[in-house]
Structure 1
């Protein structure tokens, strides 16, 4: 399984700032512990200085990440607040039949609701869903062929 860790970077900052990214290590550890053989990609790990990229480099990196979201099996998205980049990654994954699991307090947000297989309000609830097998069951149901409509 290939898993893409989508999540807030710049968010709604007006200045060239990046939100605290320590959540990525927590998510990576949770996901890797649950699916030890999974390939987990963290875009920030390879692009920690991306806020300073020029327009061409930013476009190249972002479009590459969007393409990965179209292809990876599972997108785990973390959005403690609205994040345009994360929303685009979620949308592209959804449009291409990929599974999106979102961790966000924005549980009533339409983009979150419409693109996500499951939504968890925080890391603890996400972790519990992993441990209980809930996410595995949802992924298995989503990948099973639908019964013919009668």
Structure 2
């Protein structure tokens, strides 16, 4: 199973700074532990210095990641607050009939609500379903129902 780890990076910061990215390592470890054989792609892992990219390189990486979201099996989106980049990634996965799982308290936000197959209000509830095997069952059921 190929998983794209989407999530807030710059959010609404006006400068070239990122939100805390510690959630990425935590999610990757949990996914690899509870979904044996999962291949987790973290876009930040290969692009640690992305805020310093040239305009051309940044555009190239941005568009590559958006295309990739339509090719993976599952997209896990960590969205503690609004994130335009994550919303685009969710949309690209959704419209390509890929499974989209959101971890977000923004349960009434239309992107979270309508571009996700399952929404977890917090990391703890996501982790509980992942550890119990319920998330794997949800993913399989969603995949079976997709065109």
* TM-score, normalization by structure 1: 0.93
TM superposition shift of 1:143: 2.0
TM superposition shift of 1:145: 4.7
The DSSP-based 3-state class of the residue aligned with 1:6 is strand
User: Which of the pair has more CA radius of gyration?
Assistant: 1
Cα distance in 2, alignment partners of residues 143 and 39 from structure 1: 17
Q: Structure 1 residues 145 and 91 mapped into 2: Cα distance closer, same or farther (>3 Å)?
A: closer
C-alpha contact 1:117 1:138 (8 A) present in aligned 2: no
Q: Which residue of 1 aligns with 2:35?
A: 35
Q: Which runs of 5+ in 1 are unaligned?
A: none
The DSSP-based 3-state class of the residue aligned with 1:23 is helix
RMSD value, Cα: 1.1
TM superposition shift of 1:77: 0.5
Cα distance in 1, alignment partners of residues 105 and 145 from structure 2: 31
* TM-score, normalization by structure 2: 0.95
Q: After TM superposition, what 4+ stretches of structure 1 lie above 4 angstroms from structure 2? A: none
C-alpha contact 2:99 2:117 (8 A) present in aligned 1: yes
Cα distance in 2, alignment partners of residues 17 and 107 from structure 1: 26
Cα distance in 1, alignment partners of residues 90 and 13 from structure 2: 20
Q: Residue by residue, what CA displacement relative to the aligned partner does 1:14-38 show, whole Å, maximum 9, x if unpaired?
A: 1111111111000001111011211
Q: Which residue of 2 aligns with 1:120?
A: 120
TM superposition shift of 1:121: 1.2
Q: Which residue of 2 aligns with 1:71?
A: 71
State the aligned residue count.
Answer: 146
C-alpha contact 1:73 1:98 (8 A) present in aligned 2: yes
C-alpha contact 1:5 1:40 (8 A) present in aligned 2: yes
Cα distance in 2, alignment partners of residues 98 and 144 from structure 1: 11
